[in-house]
């Protein structure tokens, strides 16, 4: 059973379009993180959300943490080819390392 | 900012040989480091938690005798893949947890190809 369910798994859209990626769970988390990974590189932290209902913005990226702290979303406005990559949500469920969702492979076509 | 250096970035080895991967925290101390494995088109899967000065904790299904982890200092953890086989070919990524802080910093990964 996957602790963090990410959707969609693959998404290919045209430059300028908007998109939303979802990260859902039946568990409650104290915090949740979003990462972006490019091929051949390690993941890079985009944001950490902590408070239920929290909304954080990073330029054209908007992150939201659900009120119940079980889910999160990433919305990209006016997507650009440079946004192409693997987007991962992750949570620390114990003192051990992070548990990742399966990721969303995003391709923005010029 | 926190920087984690991983070396080598890629390695090709013959089946049956061993390969060591290093993970260093360059500007902070890390009592805890983590090793992940990522197969093509898949997400990161935690392999083990490496604690400075003590034995590593392995996730279920990960063979501790095959994936040897040493965390001898607060800035260095190593993963040795012993008697490597082609099915061990993968992208191995480490991350470090800053001592006294929160937040994980990831290395740039090591692409292992076993031929």
Which residues in chain B have their CB less than 8 angstroms from residue A11's CB? none
Contact A107, A14 (CB under 8 A): no
pLDDT of residue A2: 76
B47-100 pLDDT per residue, tens: 999 988 888 999 999 999 999 999 989 899 999 999 999 999 999 999 998 766
A96 band by pLDDT with thresholds 50, 70 and 90: confident
Q: What is the pLDDT of residue A78?
A: 98
Determine, for residues B44 and A100 on separate chains, whether the beta-carbon distance falls below 8 Å. Answer: yes
- CB of A48 within 8 Å of a chain B CB? The answer is yes
For the cut 80, the answer to whether the pLDDT of residue B105 exceeds it is yes
Ramachandran region, residue B54 (left: φ > 0; alpha: ψ -120 to 50; beta: rest): beta
CB atoms within 10 A of CB B83: 12
CA A50 to chain centre: 14
Burial of A84 (0-12, 13-18, 19+ CB in 10 A): middle
By Cβ distance, the residue of B36, B107, B109 closest to A40 is B109
Averaged pLDDT, B108-112: 97
Q: What percent of chain A stands above pLDDT 90?
A: 89
pLDDT for B54:
86
CB-nearest to B49 from A43, A96, A101 is A96
pLDDT one-digit tens code per residue, A39-86: 999 999 999 999 999 999 999 999 999 999 999 999 999 999 999 999
Strand partners, B111: B10, B91
Query: B106 and A43 in contact by Cβ < 8 A?
Result: yes
Residues near A29 by beta carbon (within 8 Å), at least 6 away in sequence = A69, A70, A91, A93
Average model confidence (pLDDT) across chain A? 94
> What percent of chain B clears pLDDT 70, i.e. is strictly above it?
96
Interface of A with B in 26-45 (CB under 8 A): 33, 35, 40-45
Interface touch B104/A98, C-beta < 8 Å: yes
């Amino acid at each position: 059973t996957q602790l963090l369910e990410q959707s969609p798994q693959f998404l290919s859209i045209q430059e300028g379009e908007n998109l939303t990626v979802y990260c859902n769970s039946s568990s409650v988390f104290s915090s949740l993180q979003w990462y972006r990974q490019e091929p051949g590189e390690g993941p890079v932290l985009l944001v950490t959300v902590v408070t239920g209902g929290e909304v954080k913005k990073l330029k054209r990226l908007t992150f939201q943490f659900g009120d119940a702290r079980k889910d999160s979303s990433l919305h990209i406005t006016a997507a650009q080819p440079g946004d192409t990559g693997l987007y991962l949500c992750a949570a620390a469920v114990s003192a051990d390392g992070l548990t990742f969702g399966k990721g969303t492979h995003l391709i923005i076509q010029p | 900012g926190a920087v984690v250096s991983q070396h080598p970035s890629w390695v090709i080895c013959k089946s049956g040989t061993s390969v060591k991967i290093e993970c260093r925290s360059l500007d902070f101390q890390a009592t805890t480091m983590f090793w992940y494995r990522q197969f093509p088109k898949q997400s990161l899967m935690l392999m083990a938690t490496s604690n400075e000065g003590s034995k590593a904790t392995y996730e279920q299904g990960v063979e501790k005798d095959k994936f040897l982890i040493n965390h001898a200092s607060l800035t260095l953890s190593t993963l040795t893949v012993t008697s490597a086989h082609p099915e061990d070919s993968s992208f191995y990524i480490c991350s470090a947890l800053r001592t006294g802080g929160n937040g994980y910093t990831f290395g740039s990964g090591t692409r292992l190809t076993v031929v």
